[in-house]
Amino acid sequence: MNEQIITATVHGRYLVHPPAVSGPAPLLVGFHGYAEGAEIQLERLRAIPGSEDRLCVSIQALHPFYRRRDNHVVASWMTSQERDHAIADNIAYVNACLDAVISEWTIAPGAVFTGFSQGVAMAYRAAVHSSLTAAGVVAAGGDIPPELAPESLHRIQSALLIRGTADAWYTKEKLVEDERRLRSAGVEVASLEFTGGHEWSAEATAAAGQFMADRQRPTNSRAASDQSGK
């Protein structure tokens, strides 16, 4: 068998919820988990305290499918097949979504990238590859993708790592390793473990709100001005 790879054009979707305040607002960007859609991550974003003052953007993965139990359309970010090509496709797609948002809205500094489960890897990738300065990453139930080197992770100012104590996927060992990698890259790290499993919990929502509030006015010297739209 002679396998060949070819580039194809596909279309994706993202959801935007405007801030309650007028004027420039920082971005709060979300990436859903496997077999979820953009709607559920947008709900999570809007439940975070302080999100009403942010422009919330939830990006849906490029690979939709029908969830077997109810025929609801959900999506997946990638599989192990042609992984490197999928990563490149996803990064280009997310950057196109963010560029479209920036062209339409006036963005303030302080972008925060959030992800749940499979979406955590995309939150990290978006934070290090987009044109925006990443004030923070909120990572719930997922680990840092292995391809991100310390010099890339250094673009992230701070990160909040969240896991349920009964989460068999995002284990304590993975959380500790993520803390080590981030701190080695000069990233400020906080972590939360709650009583529960592989889920985005009420504790995660509250912790994300406090994390954002602490970074609403970035003072770190690494915080360059975000690119603004019209």
pLDDT score for 21: 86
CA distance 20 to 6: 44
pLDDT score for 181: 98
Closest by Cα among 212, 219, 224 to 27: 212
Q: What does 30-62 look like in DSSP terms, one character per residue?
A: EE--TTB-HHHHHHHHHHSTTGGGSEEEEE--S
pLDDT score for 137: 98
pLDDT score for 217: 53
Ramachandran region, residue 135 (left: φ > 0; alpha: ψ -120 to 50; beta: rest): alpha
Q: What's the whole-model pTM score? A: 0.92
pLDDT score for 218: 42
Q: What does 69-98 look like in DSSP terms, one character per residue?
A: TT--EEEES--STTHHHHHHHHHHHHHHHH
CA distance 156 to 175: 17
Pairing mode of beta strands 73-76, 188-194: unpaired
CA distance 184 to 203: 27
Beta bridge partners of 66: 73
Residues of the chain with pLDDT below 70 are 217-230
Other CB atoms within 10 A of residue 73 CB: 10
Which amino acid belongs to residue 114? T
pLDDT score for 215: 82
Q: Fold for 14-214, please state it.
A: Rossmann fold (3.40.50)
pLDDT score for 39: 98
Closest by Cα among 94, 109, 101, 108 to 224: 109
Q: Is the dihedral angle over the CA atoms 143, 144, 146, 150 positive or is it negative? A: negative
> Which pLDDT tens digit goes with each residue over 26-43?
999 999 999 999 999 999
pLDDT score for 216: 73
pLDDT score for 54: 98
Q: Which residues contact 163 (CB under 8 A, 6 or more apart)?
A: 140, 141, 170, 171, 172, 175, 191, 192, 193, 194
